[in-house]
Amino acid sequence: MNIVRRRGWEVTDRRVTPEHIALNRRALIGGAAALSILPALAARADIPVNPAFTPGRAVTGEKDATTYNNYYEFSESKNLWRDAQVLKQRPWTIELGGMVKQPRTIGIDDLLKQVSLEERIYRHRCVEAWAMTVPWTGFPLSQLLKIAEPLGSAKFVVFETTQDKVMPGLSAPFYPWPYVEGVTIEEAANDLAFISTGMYGKPLPPQNGGPLRLTLPWKYGFKSAKAIVKITFADKRPATFWEAIGPSEYGFWANVNPAVPHPRWSQATERLLGSNERVPTQIFNGYADQVAALYSNQKNEKLFM
């Protein structure tokens, strides 16, 4: 079978593959048949690697990244991946509403036909000070903005996670379900802001937020809402899940900054999943060149917590 398999340990290959070689690979696999099933699978080896996003560190082993998860709808423990397998990934619809030209609901496969999928390797930094480096498949959030057609007066994009009866965590009374996260329109339009539909060249596993999650590599991981079923546009800052639970610990902006400690621990370093090595944390998780300008006019905001 003429299928190019990419694996997590093929770091060198991932880092150096220029766009034209990646596209040639796609041609190799070739043909309309491969392309037509591509949206359904949402992650295949014939999706071009975007060489603009080089992680600067080794890709985390697939097993480590897919078996150590935060997903409070399932559990407060990290070991929930088996339990999450029961979350059905199809049919899946996404409601697009609020301040948009025309509210509507779109099926995920319909949506995937309207975007161009690519692979990007991003660093992920959890507020709990662990980190991973993951090859995501997906598309820039800016493409979804174009599809949703927000009104000019919309200032925020709000993402809501599914509430499915197979999620045992939803019966915990303390939490303000559903899981809601949000960003400004400017943040959402930034090229780094990504919607993931796959990882490691495969469809996104349910435990990592399949079939559709937000991926915002310059912010603490809790901003990257999983299993999104609703995207709305608003002119007011939304009440977000973690900010509602602990406003002094998990603010709206949540940009990574090693110099701003969490009230209960330092953020100066992070532990890499897999090796458990500790490495220094970087401002904006190392993505300052791409995103720092977003915040130049927001000096009065608590941008880093």
Ligand X SMILES: Nc1nc2c(c(=O)[nH]1)N[C@H]1C(S)=C(S)[C@@H](COP(=O)(O)O)O[C@H]1N2
Q: How many CA atoms lie within 13 A of 303 on its CB side?
A: 18
Q: Which residue number is nearest to ligand X in terms of Cβ?
A: 221
Q: Judged by CB under 6 A, which stretch of 12-20, 38-46, 55-63, 64-72 contacts ligand X?
A: 64-72
Count of residues in the chain: 305
Q: What sections of the chain are H helices per DSSP?
A: 11-16, 19-29, 31-41, 62-67, 81-84, 108-113, 141-148, 185-189, 241-245, 288-291
Residue 110: phi and psi, rounded to 5, are -65, -45
Closest CB 276 distance from ligand X, rounded Å: 16
Under rule CB under 5 A, residue 221 binds Mo ion: yes
Under rule CB under 6 A, residue 215 binds ligand X: no
Under rule CB under 5 A, residue 256 binds Mo ion: no
Q: For ligand X, what does the binding mask look like between residues 67 and 106, x meaning CB under 6 A?
A: --xxxxx---------------------------------
Under rule CB under 6 A, residue 225 binds ligand X: yes
CA–CA separation, 197 vs 113, rounded Å?
13
Residue closest to 93 by CA, chosen among 211, 185, 256, 188: 211
Q: Which is nearer to ligand X, 26 or 68 (CB)?
A: 68
Contacted entry of ligand X, Mo ion, none for residue 182, CB cut-off 5 to 8 Å set by kind: none
Burial 21-50 (b: 16+ CB within 10 A, else e): ebeebbeebeeeebeeebbebbbbbbbbbb
Under rule CB under 6 A, residue 255 binds ligand X: no
Under rule CB under 6 A, residue 226 binds ligand X: yes
Under rule CB under 6 A, residue 222 binds ligand X: yes
Q: Judged by CB under 6 A, which stretch of 150-158, 187-195, 219-227, 258-266 contacts ligand X?
A: 219-227
Under rule CB under 5 A, residue 222 binds Mo ion: yes
Q: Judged by CB under 5 A, which stretch of 66-74, 161-169, 243-251, 273-281 contacts Mo ion?
A: 66-74
CA–CA separation, 194 vs 124, rounded Å?
12
The C-alpha angle with vertex 283 and arms to 281 and 285, in degrees rounded to 5, equals 65
Q: Which is nearer to ligand X, 68 or 156 (CB)?
A: 68
The residue behind tokens 């090595």 is 277
Q: Judged by CB under 6 A, which stretch of 113-121, 141-149, 216-224, 274-282 contacts ligand X?
A: 216-224
Under rule CB under 5 A, residue 209 binds Mo ion: no
Which amino acid belongs to residue 214? L
Q: Which is nearer to Mo ion, 94 or 127 (CB)?
A: 127
**Distant-in-sequence, close-in-space partners of 126: CB < 8 Å, separation ≥ 6:** 70, 220, 221, 222
Question: 167: buried, middle or exposed (CB in 10 Å: 19+, 13-18, 0-12)?
Answer: buried
Under rule CB under 6 A, residue 161 binds ligand X: yes
Q: Which residues contribute to the site for Mo ion (CB under 5 A)?
A: 70, 126-127, 221-222
Q: Which residues contribute to the site for ligand X (CB under 6 A)?
A: 69-73, 126, 161, 179, 208-209, 221-222, 224-227
